Structure 1
Amino acid sequence: MSAADARRYRDPTAPVDTRVRDLLSRMTLREKVGQLNQRMYGWDAYRRTPDGGFELTDALYAETDRFEGLGALYGLQRADAWSGVDHTNGPGAEDGAALAELVQRHVVERSRLGIPALFVEEVPHGHMALDGTVLPVNLAVGATWDPGLYERAAAHAAAELRSRGGHVALVSALDIARDPRWGRTEECFGEDPYLAARFTEAVVRGMQGPPAEYFAADKAPVVLKHFAGQGATVGGRNSAESELGPRELHEIHLPAARAGVRAGAAAVMAAYNEVDGMPCSGNRELLTELLRERWGFEGLVMADGLAVDRLARITGDKMSAGALALGAGVDLSLWDEGFTHLEEAVERGLVSEEALDTAVARVLRLKFRLGLFDQRDGTVPFPAQGRELSTAVARGAVTLLRNDGGILPLTASVSRVAVLGPQSATAAHQSGDYTAPQRPGTGASLLDGLRRLAPPGLDIRHAPGCALTGDDLSGIPEAVAAAAASDLAVLVLGGSSARTPGTQFDANGAARTVVSEMTCGEGVDLAGLRLGTAQNALLEAVVATGTPTAVVLVQGRPHVVPAAGAAALLTAWYPGPWGGDALAEVLLGLAEPVGRLPVSVPRSAAQLPVYYNHKDTEYGGYADEDAEPLYPFGHGLSYTSFAYGPPRLSGHTVEADITNTGERQGRSVAQLYLRRLRTPVWPRTLELCGFRAVDLAPGETRTVAFPLGAELPGRGTVVEFRVAQSARAALAAVPTQSFTAPDETPL
């Protein structure tokens, strides 16, 4: 055994912390700084060779020479319009692992101490790579109200990532949707902190598995983003200022992060926004005093792309910006220049070497936990059944908002169906932002699903009617004719987050200009929430035929549609490539609509905000419009009906009887809301604090129980609980008897 092999950090039997200390003691200041830099776009590290293989670029050589190694590499497998990577030049499922091995071997060889790199990948709704399974967006996930289903989907995404040699997953989870004009609303689980917390726990459990010293070969450490308060952006404008007081921050925007930390999340990403005037990446009160000292978080903090350099507006130059971020608690930069100057910053006394060592130790610890030093990062087989999981989530997200006259599901009396609208025959706009190019033939539109699943003899006619954007009305007459000749019109409208190769991008990947049919996504914010001119004209024309019309919305935010007109209204959010199959199953009655709204749907953008958990004040209306949302948080109809009995409070458990009063099997999502009657501070109208899905046969009654734990209010607070099918129904529901929290109840 050589002297190098005898070093403790190379001993796989030694405790992780021992190995970290030993390696850190051997590193130069320059090598330490290199471990905290994540400078490259991963797609610039390689290129295809004429024989179909890969070769490394001069850019990668220069980057590894700069710090005698590489701390982390972002987006080696990323494919999209921004990176320019597609199936002609990028790694697929069959050769992604070989590319990762080629790059890693180079990194280790360039490092004096043989330190491998972390490969960091985007996993917003599945691994953002060629051949990766695309899942429905987070807003659709939130609509399922089923964290267990999402946990299974997240586990699959982690296995795909690791099968291709990736290590770390960047996962949107912490943003709360408070203004649907924001283009990144699709990345939120919803408007409620409790709901978001449960899904954040699910993604951590699914991707990372149970806490352990080492990650399993098919599990990936999660970077939860964005910490914190990014969903409070003023005016729904991306990266705008946020106006957050401490109570609003802690009650609405931090519970999901707190839940993720408790579940064992390996890392969080500091957000772009500021909190009380200090950007998150330079906010020591947030990243150190709260996250580490009060919450006990021991993981890694990564800055969002180029966020450290933005701090130069405060410090005066990028070197001091890097020092500010490191001192605040950022461990790993993303594309910034500021962290490249940390060696000089230490020498000038702008930041201590002790602070630098602390950050480096966190990066190294994650590498040891992944087994990168022990060749434990051997890839796992690419997992199967991705399509089935994606479709299952899409199915669970379909939400029936209106069903006048019970026109859905389709009955035997319907023999002719007109499938209309710009979203009716394409799967290209069913996936959200951060989606890799799909191979031709991937996915199923609603038209595809209906044609495949419809009973024999059902005549299905199709006309798109118009495009997603623009005011071209020339296709409407054909759609009107098809609707008039049918027993039912299914009109599929909505938006798109699809980025085309013509999109112009900012340096951090956000869309700079809106092109083609893009109406949502990062950098694509709206002042209003109505559908485009042509889509509204198509809706009015089809409804005017008198043919019963079911409108299906495929969207990344709650768009506003006229309350009158269509007999039925469903939303699928962005259901992923196979969402058309899920929608067809629901329309045909092969599956029940089980989705529930994770956000309130406004009547117009003029009445924003409309989230349900506003402060319990004299919430007056407007002289010219109702102030209440068109559809409330938690709302969703079934093909059957349910009756809720009065809730009962027994000790620390709330119970309620639920009966299926209809003629079909169905699922109801019982929602437990807390209403504070007397508190030390002004309360919110309602607060979700539990939910349970219950499947019932016709006439069946079951008791749903909600054990109360952390949901109990602070000591001395007087509250009541309500069990209902939506936030609006909860306000009218019979409450439990009032409950006074005992003195020993934790705050």
Structure 2
Amino acid sequence: MSYRDASLSVSDRVRDLLGRMTLIEKAGQVNQRLYGWKAWQRVGDGFAATPYLVDEARRFGGIGAVYGLQRADAWSGQTLATGVGAAEGAALSAEIQRTIVAESRLGIPALFVEEVPHGHQAIDGTILPVALAAASTWDPDLYERACAAVAAEVRARGAHVALVSTLDVLRDPRWGRAEETFGEDPQVAALFTTAVVRGMQGHAVDGTIPADRLAVVLKHAAGQGATIGGRNWAATELGWRELAEIHLPPVRAAAEAGAAGIMAAYSEVDGRPAAANRRLLTGVIRDALGFQGLIMADGTALDRLLRLTGDPVSAAALALHSGIDMSLWDEVFPHLDTAVSRGLATMDDLDAAVTRVLTLKFRLGLFDDPILTDISETSGNSGKEEGRSQRRRQAAPEPGLTGRLSAEIAARAVTLLHDREGLLPLRGSRIAVLGPHADTIRHALGDYTAPQRPGVGVTITDALRASGRTVTVAPGADIATGDTTGVDRAVALAEDADVVVLCLGGSSARDVETSFDVNGAALTSTDGPPVQMTAGEGVDLARLRFGDGQYELLRRVAATGTPIVAVVVQGRPHVLGEVLETAGACVNLFYPGPSLGTVVADALLGRREMIGRLPVSLPRDAASLPVYYNHRDHDWNGYVDAGPGPLLPFGGGGPGVLTLGVASFDRGLCRVPVSNPTDRDASAVVQLYLRRVTTTVWPRARELRGFRWVRVPAGQTVVVEMPAGPEQAATVDDCGRPVPETGTVEFSVQMSAAAS
């Protein structure tokens, strides 16, 4: 059979295999219905498939993909006691693959798809800082290296495909999934999207995905970061022009970087759900932007199409014709064979979808894996030998590399919001570490995180104690409620300290009390037990405030007169006005992961410069939204009862000691001197902005067009260069493709998006 011949091209092998498949086998390849944690069971010291998986494989003569085989969290119910650790992952994957291939007449392997939003959501998966923290580094190259390290870890466990959020551009911080975005700017999102693809998939020019890398499916296309009111699963009110300028740049970057897949968003575009929007998926993403990978539906999204069609067969046909290639958990796509048989869907459309799925399997080398080709010799084996064989074939990830890169991202993301009273570096020998983030890392890990083994991570209290200071600690308040029972204890410690490190913030941590929607999103209710979540999927927040108990703690501690350094740990831009006004200094971290304590101590004690910059604008009040910097350029003086603009601007942060000289522009290159008048080396992100003076489409106030990190030695000046030519001045058409600007533009060099 030609498709078994590794010397042939991928396209030839796919063509031969497709020609041998039945209609039901084709339908099986585009279905991803199984919850992976239900597909296996422990048998002695090995693994075996459950009837749940075997029945599915027999129904379709194989399986296209299995989701979350190693996922562990409160929704899956997999814990440290029951879940699959790093040492077992390859053996489990091998056994499940053996079962699937044995049930396939043509020996077609399955894709194993895992959640990898900021590290693998599985036991022993190394956690990276969330995307919003990564964007705070303004360093896509660093993130690319971290993504490569994560990919090596996950592939060594037998997985093939990573689901990674990169495409959502945050336009409303009330949306619970803010932490999964790279912020409010489309260019920043595009650059980090490219970094994810290059890091996780590698740079192979022949399209193959190496054995130490993963295929990536990027989430979500498109516009989900701008749902009405920041509500999960809600509609958008985006015109196609807004979609093209703000939400399609990262999608275009994904296409240009060669991403293996894109996931359609839950949201609507012009009244059409993304999963049923042929203009978006096929006309724009595939045809105009040239995307060649597969397009996956989000979890149970196709079931929602029943509101449009009234029956699952018609819904399956609608999704396929719109451009969906693979399902996720729904009960709609299994009806594709019936849709084709009835003439509601075409075999050409189904063949195109199956071709994209099979192509990815060949690119990953799955058909040439000895685990599959030697099945006849290993039939009945528990999977342990196959697992060991797989680990030998693949390049082993460098021990500890991912953790070191995770810590480096976290350190570079620490952002100084102000030090009005000159409290940093910390002075005094007695430090009271107070607040709900004081002595735990649990609330700093972000959503989509697996349970952690004891001893993982360093708390702020432990890190400051290690410096030799006398440290006392009390939480004082919890994350999300108005409980003040611990405030008196915290106030007593503050009165006896030289300085207070007040660790406030939010949490996306799910626990056993959390209830879940059908797609795994958290459900919150005022009727049930309090859930300590202020962010995460399904946790939308109207007022953008922490729990009331934290504000009571802030006020009571401030009344003692002891200087306060506030450390804010959050997963979205909260309203921080009272915190900034009350604390003598304030430091921000979007969920940094297990190295929370280390990076905070290094920053507060002056051992490391705080070089993070905000990838989002911080609002004055939730009632004043939106406050993103790149709005349409209309004169407006603000509300009668609130001024315009954000509390702190996009791109801001840091001590602000560096000064910009006069920029020069010549032959498409911008040069600007950056001076450091202080006696210490200092860093900044120099940002290039564009303002369109005359144009055919109403312009935005400004648009980021480039940025450069610069470190300037004490007392010196460094000249920074950035491209500033026709490419940077270009605009986009209504499909998001770059086109030349025909009007007049102005470039400016700034340290943030604040009006200069």
User: Could you state the TM-score of these two structures normalised by the residue count of structure 2?
Assistant: 0.93
Residue deviations 1:419-440 (CA, integer Å, cap 9, x gap): 1111110011111110000001
Q: How many residues align?
A: 717
Q: 2:542 pairs with 527, 542, 562, which one?
A: 527
Q: By how many angstroms is 1:485 displaced?
A: 1.9
Residue 417 of structure 1 corresponds to 431
Q: Does 1:584 align with 2:601?
A: yes
> Tell me, what secondary structure is at the counterpart of 1:207?
helix
Question: Match of 1:28, as an amino acid?
Answer: T
Q: By how many angstroms is 1:253 displaced?
A: 0.6
Residue 423 of structure 2 corresponds to 407
Q: Does 1:718 align with 2:744?
A: yes
Q: 1:468 pairs with 479, 496, 516, which one?
A: 479
> Tell me, what secondary structure is at the counterpart of 1:674?
strand
Q: By how many angstroms is 1:705 displaced?
A: 0.7
Q: By how many angstroms is 1:712 displaced?
A: 2.0
Residue 740 of structure 1 corresponds to none
Distance of 2:168 and 2:706 partners within structure 1:
20
Q: By how many angstroms is 1:724 displaced?
A: 1.1
Give yes or no for contact 1:48–1:90 (8 Å, CA) kept in 2: no
Give yes or no for contact 1:150–1:202 (8 Å, CA) kept in 2: yes
User: 533-542 or 384-393, which moves further after superposition?
Assistant: 384-393
1:561-640 matched pairs, under 5 angstroms: 561=576, 562=578, 563-638=580-655
Residue 93 of structure 2 corresponds to 100
User: 699-708 or 417-426, which moves further after superposition?
Assistant: 699-708
Give yes or no for contact 2:258–2:292 (8 Å, CA) kept in 1: no
Q: Does 1:272 align with 2:266?
A: yes
> Tell me, what secondary structure is at the counterpart of 1:657?
strand
Q: Flag as ranges the 4+ runs of structure 1 deviating above 4 A.
A: none
Q: By how many angstroms is 1:388 displaced?
A: 1.2
Q: Does 1:487 align with 2:498?
A: yes
Residue 744 of structure 1 corresponds to none
The answer for unaligned runs of 5 or more in structure 2 is 372-389, 731-739
1:46-125 matched pairs, under 5 angstroms: 46-49=40-43, 51-125=44-118
Distance of 1:405 and 1:567 partners within structure 2:
5
Residue 133 of structure 1 corresponds to 126
Q: Does 1:333 align with 2:327?
A: yes
Residue deviations 1:311-366 (CA, integer Å, cap 9, x gap): 11111111111110100111000011111111110011101101100100000000
Question: Match of 1:579, as an amino acid?
Answer: L
Distance of 2:677 and 2:45 partners within structure 1:
62
> Tell me, what secondary structure is at the counterpart of 1:723?
strand
Residue 564 of structure 2 corresponds to 549
> Tell me, what secondary structure is at the counterpart of 1:406?
coil
Question: Match of 2:144, as an amino acid?
Answer: E
Q: By how many angstroms is 1:155 displaced?
A: 0.6
> Tell me, what secondary structure is at the counterpart of 1:258?
helix
Question: Match of 2:524, as an amino acid?
Answer: T
Distance of 1:110 and 1:389 partners within structure 2:
41
Distance of 2:85 and 2:581 partners within structure 1:
47
Q: By how many angstroms is 1:488 displaced?
A: 1.3
Give yes or no for contact 2:542–2:622 (8 Å, CA) kept in 1: yes
Residue deviations 1:14-58 (CA, integer Å, cap 9, x gap): 000000000000001111110000010000001223x34322211
Residue 285 of structure 2 corresponds to 291
User: 713-722 or 643-652, which moves further after superposition?
Assistant: 713-722
Distance of 2:422 and 2:714 partners within structure 1:
17
Q: 2:202 pairs with 209, 214, 218, which one?
A: 209
Distance of 2:92 and 2:603 partners within structure 1:
42
Q: Does 1:680 align with 2:696?
A: yes
Q: By how many angstroms is 1:542 displaced?
A: 1.2
1:190-269 matched pairs, under 5 angstroms: 190-211=183-204, 212-269=206-263
Question: Match of 1:697, as an amino acid?
Answer: P
> Tell me, what secondary structure is at the counterpart of 2:532?
coil
Question: Match of 1:513, as an amino acid?
Answer: T
Q: By how many angstroms is 1:526 displaced?
A: 0.8
Question: Match of 1:397, as an amino acid?
Answer: A
Q: By how many angstroms is 1:469 displaced?
A: 2.3
Question: Match of 1:93, as an amino acid?
Answer: A
Q: By how many angstroms is 1:507 displaced?
A: 1.1
Q: 1:152 pairs with 123, 145, 153, which one?
A: 145
Residue 735 of structure 1 corresponds to none
Give yes or no for contact 1:172–1:225 (8 Å, CA) kept in 2: yes
Give yes or no for contact 2:317–2:345 (8 Å, CA) kept in 1: yes
Give yes or no for contact 1:48–1:89 (8 Å, CA) kept in 2: no
Distance of 2:444 and 2:397 partners within structure 1:
24
Q: Quickly say closer, same or farther: Cα 1:376–1:367, change in 2 above 3 A.
A: farther
User: Could you state the TM-score of these two structures normalised by the residue count of structure 1?
Assistant: 0.94
Question: Match of 1:251, as an amino acid?
Answer: E
Residue deviations 1:355-391 (CA, integer Å, cap 9, x gap): 1001000000000000000017834324422221111
Q: By how many angstroms is 1:441 displaced?
A: 1.4
Residue deviations 1:449-480 (CA, integer Å, cap 9, x gap): 2122x2x4x22221211111222222212212
Give yes or no for contact 1:309–1:322 (8 Å, CA) kept in 2: no
Q: Does 1:393 align with 2:376?
A: no
Q: By how many angstroms is 1:302 displaced?
A: 0.5
Structure 1 vs Structure 2: percent identity of aligned residues? 56
Residue 34 of structure 2 corresponds to 40
Distance of 1:122 and 1:549 partners within structure 2:
39
Q: By how many angstroms is 1:585 displaced?
A: 0.6
Q: 1:323 pairs with 317, 332, 339, which one?
A: 317
Give yes or no for contact 2:665–2:724 (8 Å, CA) kept in 1: no
Question: Match of 1:490, as an amino acid?
Answer: V
> Tell me, what secondary structure is at the counterpart of 1:523?
coil
> Tell me, what secondary structure is at the counterpart of 2:195?
helix
Residue 276 of structure 2 corresponds to 282
> Tell me, what secondary structure is at the counterpart of 1:260?
helix
1:342-353 matched pairs, under 5 angstroms: 342-353=336-347
Give yes or no for contact 1:93–1:382 (8 Å, CA) kept in 2: no
Residue 668 of structure 2 corresponds to 652
Distance of 1:410 and 1:22 partners within structure 2:
68
Give yes or no for contact 1:47–1:89 (8 Å, CA) kept in 2: no
